[in-house]
Structure 1
């Protein structure tokens, strides 16, 4: 209070003193989480800035103030109207954006070593999607502030937003190396991504557990860096840049900040302001406006409770408490992978396991990439990069298969109902044990990443066993095959189906392997029975139960085979023309006619 009074007296005595003007501007800005977070409602900040330019010429602080005032107008109008803005409003919004960029560039020229200017400038450029300008500004920041950890971390964020993860990682590593030990120790905040009931034990396990945590979350194993870890640092820097108070609130059980959501679910895709009062009312928009932030597959509603730009989800202590609902969502989905500039899409896939008496079990992953018929008609190149991985419990690759395709041969295209899919398959191998199976597919503007836990068992020649059933669009002996796409197992060339959706108009091939047959009396003799049951009659469990009991199901085939060894490979062509559309369960039972032992395998399919 005393400093404020003394400054007012000094300004009355010398109103054009640039030092007094700058100090008053600093007072007006104090308390704001960032300069452009609050409107200049009285116009005093703008008047002081213009006065500074009159008396001092090219003043960086004054230019920065004019830029941030224009940035505030841009932010608010863009939030309020967005894509709904008409031509006149769009011109107004773009005018504020252009004014802000021009004055930020002048401010940087006036004082290229001022970190605050770069931070505000980069906030504007990121939010407005001006990534090329952000690349230039961040490069200039690191040039003039080479020993600033914040400069390199911001440079890494821009590189990540520009879809250059390898370069982003190098910038992040340099920024982290420049942090002091206290700042570095608390920067990662990776514990937020762990479910609360598992957090203490994982943190207590130390650095090795943290490293395994990130290896297991590497959603793009085809690249040279752990992109999920790079993304984590990008999200942290983004949250610190736009919501600098979020770390103080991270352990507050009564509030949730945007930063806490961003670290979990990625950069906001868009945002929209929902004012509670008429925006044309005196004083501008309500200070308690609601901001809706949209992420890849969900949205969260925040409140600007104090009008200073700090967004929060406050508790209401009621039955439909927003904080409780959000934390419940965090518990169920602690974090999600998200790739800047890429749309996430779903890829159908099937995992088939083939036990082996040796040290490794084969895993075949068949999948289909959606293809648009228009692209084929226009002869557009459809380049993809795909990979399948078997990952152990520590996050290390046990086996991998990566394929880069510059185009999609028409012979590898299959139709599943109304979908046209580029069909591909990868064969992997791993010793018996518990693993994570991961599949990645990437095109120029889309990416898919799927994973599931799998158990690989060792086959035992002393016990009868059967593999999973592999559905296929074609199985034929290699000796009579004309070649083409697919995989070869034993004496068969197989085109694995990319999904379990089949048409009644086409035959359904079923391939499986078996072993552990009794050959003590010479040739092994076994019976193969193929059943099919409609899931609608009692549900999936009932259908499987009927398959195992053999009651109330259609027997599609039953035949006896004789072989001189203890293992065999079989396929069967199932005619589904008479089946009703809908979900069905197919079962295969193998019975050793010497020992009377039997084993079953089931496959769920949809027939249309």
Structure 2
């Protein structure tokens, strides 16, 4: 009897099992057909089959696939369906990580907290999900950016007594921002423990620290990928920005160069031309693109603030502005590239703002009297829009986000001002260098060259070791010094670059001179120095005219105020003119304890019938600011006929038509002040006269 019962049960169970298996196959077959239609790009059929599968089977995979299809559509109702379908799919298969990622992606645009919940659930299911850790970190990082340097304005109104003036209270949001920053860092650290060489993780960390001005923390993560030969264009772009913010400019230049070499033509065109055209075209609207390309090339050359380096600091700043704008202000969902946004344009033109204040939507509520005013929550409603105020050295700009889209735009009332700003001030640039900036006194002196078609130009500078900015310690490793001359179109005509080693000496200062020999011309001179030890720099650029000493006319060189003059004896750092060494004092400042010499040269003196020259030299000393007389010197050099100058006259007869002249002045009886010293030479043979002058500060 028992055996018969078992047989009956077996007979009953087998058909039941076969029926269930058949039903499962039908469900699977229906879903598979829908997927096949999707793979052949027959989306219409796929949608129909997925919908039928949902109606008949209520299966999570079909909800998921339909959500993906609808989310790609621009129709609001269909995208809302995508959200509902994805929510259902996640509820039906709570452990499916793929579903949770997509659901979180959908929620990012309108339900950020739900996205965070999904990412947290993902890492609770699988702690090795780096993508989820990165998403959590990026969310907290964006929250930090949202609230950092932000205030919320509470506008308090009395609902009972509206005649009472409203009170505005600013509440700082820095504490919330600091918490978000710490949370973001913690999430990134969690991901690093899983895989410190993950590409997306390292790039996200680099961008995070670039945004928050902590470049050294970001560099190490991107360098890790570079060492593994896994760096691409985006890694090098981020590295370029991080190195720039860290003031490691040579590495920044190399990183940008590598990034440009890996870019597609269109992106490279943005970096090298379109973004530059954007800021210069307003001021040069008459140029076509070919003319503008030539102008841009010259623009970078003329605006390079430090020629002694192997890179162009102005161009480096531009690349960094483009990279920063793209990093901070791009909005991918509307295909807006960062440097083309309103905020990106301002960064492109003027750099990052010196100051930034974010004003978040205000709140209106009731007001009650007590120990202080308290906001009654039942009256509170949100109002207003997001604002940002950016401050620069001489102007401020206001941006608004009326649609809460993240796309901050120029405030409407400032549009005319901004258009005028584009024209009057297309761009600004304050040079940034790796080391500190220091000042050096320098002077240039011009003399006739042995080849009269040329001119000898000497530039003399002094390093004062008693000045803390130029102490011996700072020059202990030596320095690079350079002298450049360009024509009016900034074509290089001369370059003299030297590396000077530090020489231990007991003196409190050192003087050196650089020489260039060039044809007379008007152009631009650049004198630069960079210390080896701390990359400290000094740079002087400006228009410069090289005099013409050719021809037969009577001429005089520049007048040199010198601390020492020697014949047939070399002086370190001096100007060497034939057998005479002249050590200028580029500060032109002297005291009673200093020797004071004047040195100059006269050219083309006429000769008399005895083949000798006959000329008179006058040295006139005049108080610079007063034009008055120095009474203590009257007995030494006397007054001129007007009674307002002190003049020393000497007469000479020589066989040299181009004599080198020097004399020592004794100004010990002078009162402190600034004086003008004029040298006048009258050729008694030709009757011609020539003069030149210099200034001295007597202490």
Name the counterpart of 2:652.
561
Superimposed CA distance per residue, residues 516-572 of structure 1 (whole angstroms, 9 cap, x where no aligned partner): 211364122222222233343489xxxxxxxxx996742342222333222122234
Name the counterpart of 1:4.
80
Query: The residue matched to 1:224 in structure 2 has which SS?
Result: coil
Q: In 2, distance between residues paired with 1:22 and 1:438?
A: 58
Name the counterpart of 1:495.
583
Q: In 2, distance between residues paired with 1:588 and 1:449?
A: 31
CA RMSD of aligned residues (A): 4.4
Q: In 2, distance between residues paired with 1:355 and 1:536?
A: 32
Superimposed CA distance per residue, residues 24-71 of structure 1 (whole angstroms, 9 cap, x where no aligned partner): 43345459xxxxxxxx9x744433321232234333342123212433
Given that residues 215 and 246 in structure 2 are in contact (C-alpha distance below 8 angstroms), is that contact kept between their aligned partners in structure 1? Answer: yes
Query: The residue matched to 2:444 in structure 1 has which SS?
Result: strand
Given that residues 315 and 323 in structure 1 are in contact (C-alpha distance below 8 angstroms), is that contact kept between their aligned partners in structure 2? Answer: no
Q: In 1, distance between residues paired with 2:211 and 2:641?
A: 62
Shift of 1:463: 0.7
Shift of 1:238: 2.7
Given that residues 475 and 571 in structure 1 are in contact (C-alpha distance below 8 angstroms), is that contact kept between their aligned partners in structure 2? Answer: no
* Higher alpha-carbon Rg: 2
> Which of 466, 472, 476 is matched with 2:556 structurally?
466
Q: In 2, distance between residues paired with 1:550 and 1:8?
A: 104
Question: What are the equivalent positions in structure 2 for 1:267-278 lying under 5 Å apart?
Answer: 271-273=355-357, 275=359
Shift of 1:598: 1.6
Name the counterpart of 1:457.
547
Query: The residue matched to 2:306 in structure 1 has which SS?
Result: coil
Q: In 1, distance between residues paired with 2:557 and 2:383?
A: 65
Name the counterpart of 2:320.
234
Pair 1:402 & 2:498 matched: yes
Q: In 2, distance between residues paired with 1:162 and 1:225?
A: 16
Pair 1:224 & 2:310 matched: yes
Name the counterpart of 1:348.
441
Shift of 1:362: 1.6
Name the counterpart of 1:151.
235
> Which of 37, 51, 57 is matched with 2:127 structurally?
57
Name the counterpart of 2:46.
none
Given that residues 386 and 400 in structure 2 are in contact (C-alpha distance below 8 angstroms), is that contact kept between their aligned partners in structure 1? Answer: yes
Q: In 2, distance between residues paired with 1:344 and 1:154?
A: 27
Name the counterpart of 1:545.
none
Shift of 1:208: 5.3
Distance 1:334 1:519, change over 3 A: farther
Q: In 1, distance between residues paired with 2:121 and 2:324?
A: 34
Given that residues 438 and 538 in structure 2 are in contact (C-alpha distance below 8 angstroms), is that contact kept between their aligned partners in structure 1? Answer: yes
Name the counterpart of 1:419.
none
Question: What are the equivalent positions in structure 2 for 1:575-590 lying under 5 Å apart?
Answer: 575-577=666-668, 581-590=672-681
Query: The residue matched to 1:590 in structure 2 has which SS?
Result: strand
Name the counterpart of 2:137.
67
Distance 1:409 1:27, change over 3 A: farther
* The 10-residue stretch of structure 1 (586-595 or 160-169) with the greater mean CA deviation from structure 2: 160-169
Shift of 1:288: 3.9
Shift of 1:364: 1.6
Q: Could you tell me the TM-score, scaled by structure 1's length? A: 0.76
Shift of 1:315: 6.2
Q: In 2, distance between residues paired with 1:447 and 1:283?
A: 56
Q: In 2, distance between residues paired with 1:135 and 1:251?
A: 27
Pair 1:435 & 2:523 matched: yes
Task: Kindly tell me the number of residue pairs found equivalent between the two proteins.
Answer: 560
Shift of 1:283: 11
Name the counterpart of 1:524.
613
Q: In 2, distance between residues paired with 1:349 and 1:368?
A: 7
Q: In 2, distance between residues paired with 1:184 and 1:194?
A: 18
Question: What are the equivalent positions in structure 2 for 1:41-190 lying under 5 Å apart?
Answer: 43-72=113-142, 74-75=144-145, 79=149, 97-107=181-191, 115=200, 118-141=202-225, 148-188=232-272, 189-190=275-276
Shift of 1:350: 1.9
Q: In 2, distance between residues paired with 1:193 and 1:139?
A: 33
Distance 1:348 1:260, change over 3 A: farther
Shift of 1:163: 4.5
Shift of 1:450: 1.5
Q: In 2, distance between residues paired with 1:284 and 1:475?
A: 78
Q: Structure 2: 5+ residue runs without aligned partners?
A: 1-75, 152-172, 364-373, 629-639
Query: The residue matched to 2:617 in structure 1 has which SS?
Result: strand
Q: In 1, distance between residues paired with 2:336 and 2:483?
A: 37
Shift of 1:11: 0.6
Distance 1:271 1:65, change over 3 A: farther
Superimposed CA distance per residue, residues 479-508 of structure 1 (whole angstroms, 9 cap, x where no aligned partner): 467x44433223332222233445576454
